[in-house]
Amino acid sequence: MLSISNLQASIGEKEILRGLNLEVNPGEVHAIMGPNGAGKSTLASVLAGREDYTVTGGSVEFDGKDLLDMAPEERAAEGIFLAFQYPVEIPGVSTTNFLKTALNEIRKYRGQDPLDAVQFLKLMKEKMKLVNIDQSLLSRSLNEGFSGGEKKRNEIFQMAMLEPKLAILDETDSGLDIDALRIVADGVNQLRSPERATIVVTHYQRLLDYIVPDYVHVLYKGRIVKSGPKELALELEEKGYDWIKAEAAV
Ligand code: ADP
Ligand code: MG
Ligand code: MG
């Protein structure tokens, strides 16, 4: 589904990703861990197509298409969801309206008719139940005055509504409490299916107690320097990253 090969990316003059390789198949959950400043958020941003990053080498294929060639909206329409893509506060625009627009833009790109009001409401109801979100949150201005947990729930709800093939979650927020972690984990687990894949970027081993990944990767100095089964996360928790750094330096 996703094939990243020798990816290199910079911000300004600064080289951040230095030859990153990663393969993700449908149905899989991959966790990306690594010390601060390793390039985890940069990877997520590059996959999202954020403009402040320059790809200087390598390739990214998504469902056989060149992802790096696509505008961010095209990436979304092809089925990539980035949790932080929509954390912005939009005064005067409710989650409901925002999602209706986003969903119908995606459908238009795919050559599908827009959902009418009845169909949209039906979908909303189904997904609200799935992620256990309250109607009142959805009619408020997007993210405005939301608590950390409410933002997370809203984000997961957006993901459920857009039904992505590949969801990428960058859990950078150090303020995530246990409830917020649970919301994210429950949402990801609800949406697990043989056709979908998830990449969870995190430095919390704790999150991986709830979202059990198929693979754990360690990103260090812009490369994936170690990959392993879920137990690797526990090993990292116990031993830190120094041994990885030592191995990577060899
Ligand atoms: P991580 O998410 O693994 O902590 P990041 O991808 O956020 O790492 O950052 C990787 C490196 O790029 C860090 O050294 C960081 O300081 C640098 N960096 C990130 N964003 C910017 C930016 N906008 N301008 C300059 N340097 C940046
Ligand atoms: Mg960081
Ligand atoms: Mg980060």
Percent of the chain past pLDDT 70, that is, above it, reads: 95
Nearest atom (ligand 1) to Cα of 38: 3
Closest alpha carbon to 59 in 30, 12, 23, 83: 23
**Token pair for 145:** 């005055």
Nearest atom (ligand 1) to Cα of 44: 6
Q: pLDDT tens digits, residue range 165-199?
A: 999 998 765 567 788 788 888 888 988 999 999 99
Per-residue pLDDT averaged across 126-141, rounded? 85
Per-residue pLDDT averaged across 52-81, rounded? 94
Q: Whose CA is nearest to atom 23 of ligand 1?
A: 11
Task: Report the chain's mean pLDDT, rounded to a whole number.
Answer: 89
**CA 17–ligand 1 middle distance (angstroms):** 10
Q: What is the pLDDT of residue 89?
A: 64
- Give the residue extent of every domain in the chain: 2-249
Residue 87: pLDDT over 80: no
Look up the pTM and report it.
Answer: 0.91
Class of the 2-249 domain?
Answer: alpha beta
Q: Which ligand is nearest to the CA of 171?
A: 3
CA–CA distance from 117 to each of 93, 109, 122, 144 (Å)? 17, 19, 9, 25
